[in-house]
């Protein structure tokens, strides 16, 4: 899968993707990442990419021409690539979005700076995403997060095809707790069921703990999670249990 990024600071993308799993994926050619300097598509001696807003106001606004020129060029090179704008006004980025985007051949990320984009740039993109209700100095960090979330789902990147299946949000719920050696640390013991070797009992425990963690930390997720009749029975018992513990 190919990732193209339009940014005024392409060097920001060098170190984060040179290490660990994504660094190895790049070396193997499982993914490709190209950070392009938006100024390369700007005109004039100074390659200006921003200007003062019409009507007055604070800050500068990113000009439409360099973005349009860049997207026209990249789309010719990579037909069918989807264009994503990073903006606080965009749709909240979720795991389901990462899964959908990971099935594409390529993505182009448009990273904003200054006060924001000329509104006409919005007509040039296919989707707008936000990481949350907060403001960053630019779209670069948001693009890095999205690339990481999408790239790890590309076949072969994580090594094991099942590595991402149990992640939080992969089935609409938070992930169950994990433990490793030692079996006891500072008086805290690993649950006996995980040491039993009984895989059926372990699976039941993990599902119960997954439901418990979601109920106590993100109960809002339960409204849309695909719950079985057995899950609902467990949740009912957990609600009683949690209510008794808090009273």
Task: Clarify whether residues 111 and 11 are in a common domain.
Answer: yes
- What pTM, to 2 d.p., does this model score? 0.89
Instruction: State how far Cα 167 lies from the chain centre.
Output: 13
* Domain membership flag for residue 164: no
The active-site residue, picked from 65, 88, 99, 118, is: 88
pLDDT of residue 247: 58
- Whether residues 17 and 114 fall in one domain: yes
Same domain, 79 and 142: yes
Same domain, 73 and 133: yes
CA distances from 86 to 77, 104, 130, 239, 245 (A): 22, 18, 6, 39, 43
Q: In degrees, to the nearest 5, what angle opens at C-alpha 234 toward C-alphas 231 and 236? A: 110
The domain boundary, picked from 151, 170, 201, lies at 151
177 is catalytic: no
Asked if residue 210 and residue 88 are part of one domain, the reply reads no
Are 127 and 26 found together in one domain?
Answer: yes
Domains identified in the chain, total number: 2
Instruction: Tell me if 179 is assigned to some domain.
Output: no
Q: CATH number, domain at 231?
A: 1.10.1270.20
Q: What is the pLDDT of residues 120-176, one digit of tens each?
A: 999 999 999 999 999 999 999 999 999 999 999 999 999 865 567 667 788 899 999
d(CA 101, CA 153): 9
Segments forming the whole domain that contains residue 120: 2-151
Considering the domain boundaries, does residue 174 fall inside one?
A: no
3-state secondary structure of 30: coil
Mean pLDDT by 10 residues, the chain (247 residues): 98 96 97 98 95 93 98 93 96 97 97 92 98 96 98 92 69 94 97 97 97 97 96 97 77
Domain annotation covers residue 163:
no
Active site residue 92: no
Assess if residue 157 is contained within a domain.
Answer: no
Residue 167 lies in a domain: no
**What pLDDT does residue 115 have?**
86
- Answer whether residue 160 is part of any domain: no
152 is catalytic: yes
Assigned domain for 168 exists: no
Catalytic option among 167, 175, 209, 231:
167
Residue 167's pLDDT is 75
Q: Cα–Cα distance between 40 and 49 in angstroms, integer?
A: 10
Catalytic annotation on 239? no
Query: Are 14 and 72 within one domain?
Result: yes
Q: Catalytic residue among 115, 171, 175, 231, which?
A: 115
What are the E-state strand segments in the chain? Answer: 2-7, 32-37, 50-51, 61-62, 82-92, 106-111, 116-117, 127-130, 184-185, 188-189
- The verdict on 124 and 190 lying in the same domain is no
* 29 and 124 housed in the same domain: yes
On whether both 190 and 146 belong to a single domain, the answer is no
Which of 131, 151, 171 delimits the end of a domain? 151
> Pick from 96, 130, 151: which residue ends a domain?
151
The CATH number linked to 113 is: 3.40.1280.10
104 and 220, same domain (yes or no):
no
Residue 135 shares a structural domain with residue 230: no
């Amino acid at each position: 899968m190919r990732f193209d990024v339009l940014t005024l600071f392409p060097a920001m993308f060098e170190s984060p993707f040179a290490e660990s799993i994504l660094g190895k994926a790049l070396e193997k050619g499982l993914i490709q990442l190209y950070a392009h300097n938006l100024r390369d598509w700007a005109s004039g001696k100074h390659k200006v990419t921003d200007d003062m807003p019409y009507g007055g106001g604070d800050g500068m606004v990113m000009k439409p021409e360099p973005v349009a020129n860049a997207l026209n060029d990249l789309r010719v090179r990579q037909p069918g690539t989807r264009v994503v704008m990073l903006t606080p006004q965009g749709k909240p980025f979720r795991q389901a979005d990462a899964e959908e985007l990971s099935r594409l051949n390529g993505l182009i990320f448009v990273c904003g700076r200054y006060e924001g984009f000329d509104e006409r740039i919005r007509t040039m993109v296919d989707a707008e995403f936000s990481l949350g209700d907060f403001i960053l100095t630019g779209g670069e960090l948001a693009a890095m997060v999205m690339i990481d979330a999408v790239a790890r789902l590309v076949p072969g990147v994580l090594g094991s095809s099942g590595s991402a299946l149990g992640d939080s949000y992969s089935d609409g719920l938070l992930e169950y707790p994990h433990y490793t050696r030692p079996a006891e640390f500072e008086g805290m013991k690993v649950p006996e069921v995980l040491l039993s070797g009984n895989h059926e009992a372990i699976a039941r425990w993990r599902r119960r703990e997954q439901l418990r963690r979601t109920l106590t930390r993100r109960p809002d997720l339960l409204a849309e999670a695909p719950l079985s009749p057995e899950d609902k029975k467990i949740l009912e018992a957990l609600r009683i249990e949690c209510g008794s513990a808090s009273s």
